[in-house]
Amino acid sequence: MDIRKFQEKDRLSLISLWQRVFPDDPSHNEPSKVISAKLAVDDLIFVAEQNDQIVGACMAGYDGHRGWLYAVAVSPDFRRSGIGSLLVNAAIQQLKILGCIKVNLQIRSTNTSVAAFYKSLGFAMEDRLSMGVLV
C-alpha cells in the first residue's frame, strides 16, 4: 500500500473512484472540475495505491487558519482495511507541516456510519451551523 500525492496519471482513476463512492454528489462537485480547481491552488490531494490501482483518496485544504478534509473515499472493496485512516493521517501530517493547528471536516447528516470512523481518529462533534452559497 502506497499513500502519496496525486499525480496527473491518476486523474481518470480518481474520477472513477469519486464517482463510485459519491454517486449522489451535486453537479458542482463533479470530480474532473474539482481536481483541476484544486491543483490550480495547491497539490493537497492524496491517493492510496495498491497494485497500481487507486483504492482511496483524500483531498485536504489549508487557508492559513484551519485545515479541512474533503472527499475522503475508499473503494468499497477495500474498506475496513485501514486505508481511510492512513489517508486521513497522511493529510493531517502534511497540514501540520504547513502550520495547521486544527483540522475540520463536514459529513452529511445522513451519513452517520462514517461519523464513528472519524471519532476513532480523534475528531469530535462541534456545535456549529454549516452554511454555504453557490456562486
For the chain, domain boundaries? 2-120
d(C-alpha 86, C-alpha 74), whole Å: 11
54-77 pLDDT tens trace: 999 999 999 999 999 999 999 999
d(C-alpha 9, C-alpha 134), whole Å: 30
The pTM for the full model equals 0.92
10-55 pLDDT tens trace: 999 999 999 999 998 888 999 999 999 999 999 999 999 999 999 9
pLDDT score for 24: 87
In angstroms, how far is the first alpha carbon of the chain from the final one? 39
d(C-alpha 83, C-alpha 91), whole Å: 12
88-119 pLDDT tens trace: 999 999 999 999 999 999 998 888 889 999 99
d(C-alpha 119, C-alpha 127), whole Å: 15
Sort 95 into a burial class: Cβ within 10 Å, 0-12 / 13-18 / 19+: buried
pLDDT score for 51: 93
Q: Looking at this protein, which amino acid is placed at residue 100?
A: C
CATH of the domain spanning 2-120: 3.40.630.30
